[in-house]
A and B are shown apart, each in its own frame.
Chain A
Amino acid sequence: MSNDILIFGEVRGGALKKVTRELIEAARRVSKDTGGAVDAALVGAGAEAAAKGIADYGLRKITVFEGDALASYSTEGYAAALAGLVKESSPSYVLLGATAMGRDLAPRVAARVDGVMFSDCVDIRMEGAACVVRRPVYSGKVYVELARRGERTAFVTIRPNNVPPAAPTGGSTPIEKRGPAAAREAIRALVREIIPLEGGRPDITEADVIVSGGRAMKEKANFKILEDLADALGAAVGASRAAVDAGFAPAAVQVGQTGKIVNPKLYIACGISGAIQHLAGMRTSKVIVAINKDPNAPIFERATYGVVGDLFEIVPMLTEEIKKALA
């Protein structure tokens, strides 16, 4: 096994996902101590063009896989490409984003190359000679830190928004272009269509800022005041399970244990009590603002800033003041 690190650069709709630059930064931190090189692999339509966007990040080599059989994501098509590359270069670590794609792909490839798998990590660092990853368990009620045993390539999916994105360092990384490693006919599960989320707002798992509403919103129409605040901040709109179950917001934006795990810079919880299952989805947010009329609401135990008051008064005011401040 080499000392090298391979990054899986995720391409969706022809664009490189933001998390890729975070993976580069994570890899730099580790390779600084191990002296290994950092390579990248990009797969799918638009991979070559996307690779040019990270050609000045000090990587040793970027391998891109494009072709008919890779036109849309499939576990099998992508796994064949990545597993082939890993077998060829036997990197020490393979880093992927803990995204829908990364979480689906990484364990498949890890099993295929007889590697090690660490899912959904929030940190990776060297501790002496050992590389240690940190990941939340029990829906974030505690963390564990793990290390590999023995000589196997370790696959690590890293949650978006945990590591700052790398900055370019200049230079020009060579890009090698390859075709698919598996024929389309050999792929048993295929994506036929992608149905976009309505609304056109950023997805809550990728957003830097989230404005979330709970049961206290009372009805669907009232989410308008949260949308106005979100518009002022370029934010996504989230919801508690109580709000989703009551039909105020779609299931796709539910935050929490049975919803999505989010990790924005700023999370604004409006009329959300802060049940443990809700906290499970957002407690790692950098800054949490809670607006609640009950000064004893448990959300205040996790919040950074709290405002006690009626959200129907506070939220529109906050929208106005933020517009003024950002004008």
Chain B
Amino acid sequence: MKIIALMKRVPDTEARILVNQEGTGIKDDGIKYVISTYDEYGIEQALRVKEKAGGPSTVTAVCAGPEEATELIRTALAMGADDAVHVCDPALASGDPFLAAAALAAAVKESGFDIIFCGKQAIDDDMGQVQTILAEMLDVPQVNVVTGFELSGDGSRATLRRRIEGGDEMIETALPAIVSCEKGLNEPRYASLPGIMKAKKKEIRTKTLADLGVAVPGEARSAIVRWVPLPKSSGCRMVQAEEARDAVRELVKLLRDESKVI
């Protein structure tokens, strides 16, 4: 099987994100970058499917991102991916999801695929749409927000569990398909020392959009009008009293009469 794992380079969840002085983006000094959290579940699942499918299966990590992403691609290779495609092009910095999807579509078509794993959303733009646009471009089904995955014996279908409001959907899909992963699907492994050594010798194919035949549109379909910092918290009102009971009564009064939420 040809298994693809998509991975995006994003700021670490602990990073302090602040709007820059000019209001045109975020301050990116001192930010540590990581593989997007949900993509890690995708990489792990790709490796598990390879282990289960056996035979001549391969896992290819595919990343569209800046040069600095190479380091993180090596991490995916160290976890166990066999090789990688790095789409590296300044035009991708626009963050246009349609361009990202077009780049990924061209890359996976070139390498071939039976199944594509990715994250339910990238934890920087939090869009959760690139994978679905990609599925439409490739004309394959997608199953999003997956917490359970089982490959059929012959590798032609999969049964998945997808989280929805108030329950889980059990879905059966034909392959090839795109599967976007949610926390709970698996526990991503750490790169082992031998893995890190081996990763150094694995191939990363770097491509520009032109290499892949992807045209950059003159104008993106949408544009950011402004960045808006989080409104300052208006300050917490501490509800205090000699007796806990009185504080609780005061709280109930505030909830009912001041903020009218109960």
Binding site for B on A (CB under 8 A): 12, 73, 75-76, 99-101, 103-104, 106-108, 110-112, 115-120, 127, 130, 132, 134-150, 152, 154, 188-197, 202-203, 205-206, 209, 233, 251-252, 254, 257-259, 265-266, 276-277, 280, 283, 286-287, 289-290, 295, 300-309, 313-314, 317-318, 321-322, 325-326
Taken together as a complex, chains A and B put the C-alpha atoms of A152 and B217 apart, in Å, by 14
Q: How far is the CA of A3 from the CA of B163 in the complex (A)?
A: 35
> Which residues on A sit within 8 Å (CB–CB) of B137?
111
Partner of A139, one of B123, B144, B220, B244: B123
- Chain B interface, >50% SS class: mixed
**A251 to chain B: which residues have CB within 8 Å?**
147, 183-184
A188 and B219 within 8 A (CB):
no
Q: How far is the CA of A107 from the CA of B248 in the complex (A)?
A: 46
Cα(A99)–Cα(B169), bound, Å: 14
Residues of the A chain whose Cβ atoms lie less than 8 Å from the Cβ of B144:
100, 103-104
The contact string, 1 if C-beta is below 8 Å from chain A, for chain B 16-29, is 11110000001000
Q: How far is the CA of A39 from the CA of B35 in the complex (A)?
A: 41
Q: Are B174 and A317 in contact (CB under 8 A)?
A: no
Q: Report A-chain residues with C-beta under 8 Å of the C-beta of B126.
A: 119-120, 135-139
A-B contact count (CB 8 A): 254
- Shortest CB-to-CB span from A181 to chain B, Å, is 15
Does B60 lie at the interface of the complex (its beta carbon under 8 Å from any beta carbon of A)?
A: no
10 example contacts (A-B, Cβ-Cβ < 8 A) are as follows A100-B163, A107-B128, A142-B26, A144-B227, A145-B224, A251-B183, A257-B13, A304-B234, A318-B248, A322-B262
Contact A301/B236 with A119-B129, A189-B171, A307-B247 known, Cβ cut-off 8 Å: yes
Give Cα A276–Cα B16 distance, bound, in whole angstroms: 9
- Name the residue among B127, B162, B262 with the largest chain A CB count within 10 angstroms: B262
Shortest CB-to-CB span from B248 to chain A, Å, is 5
Chain B 168-205 near chain A by CB (<8 Å), digits 1 or 0: 11111110010000011000000000000000000000
Query: Nearest Cβ distance between residue A282 and chain B, in whole angstroms?
Result: 13
A108 and B142 contacting across the interface, CB-CB below 8 Å? yes
B32 at the interface (CB under 8 A from A): no
Contact status A306-B236, CB under 8 Å: yes
Given contacts A100-B145, A189-B177, A321-B249, contact A116 B221 (CB under 8 A): yes
CA distance A120 to B140 in the complex (A): 24
Q: Is the beta-carbon distance between B165 and A119 smaller than 8 angstroms? A: no
For the complex, count residues of B whose C-beta is within 8 A of A: 83
Q: Which residue of B lies closest to A101 (CB)?
A: B164
Complex contact B238–A289 (CB within 8 A)? no
Interface of B with A (CB < 8 Å)?
11, 13-19, 26, 37, 97-98, 101, 123-129, 132-133, 135-137, 140-145, 147, 159, 161-174, 177, 183-184, 219-230, 233-234, 236-240, 244-245, 247-249, 251-256, 259, 261-262
Which residues on A sit within 8 Å (CB–CB) of B221? 115-116, 148-150, 152
**Alpha-carbon separation in the docked complex, A103 to B120 (Å):** 10
Contact B170 A193 (CB under 8 A): yes
Closest 4 CB pairs of A and B: A189-B173, A111-B136, A100-B164, A107-B132
Q: A309 to B244, Cβ gap below 8 A? A: yes
Beyond A76-B141, A146-B223, A189-B174, whether A112 also contacts B136 by CB under 8 A is yes
Instruction: Choose among A103, A112, A196, A265 the residue with the greatest number of B CB atoms under 10 Å from its CB.
Output: A103
**B188 to A: closest C-beta gap in Å:** 12
Q: Are B135 and A205 in contact (CB under 8 A)?
A: no
Please tell me if the beta carbons of A257 and B123 are within 8 angstroms of each other in the complex: yes
Q: What chain A residues lie within 8 Å of B125 (beta carbons)?
A: 137
Chain A residues with Cβ below 8 Å from B136 are 107-108, 111-112
The interface residues of chain A lying within 8 Å CB-to-CB of B17 are 138, 141-142
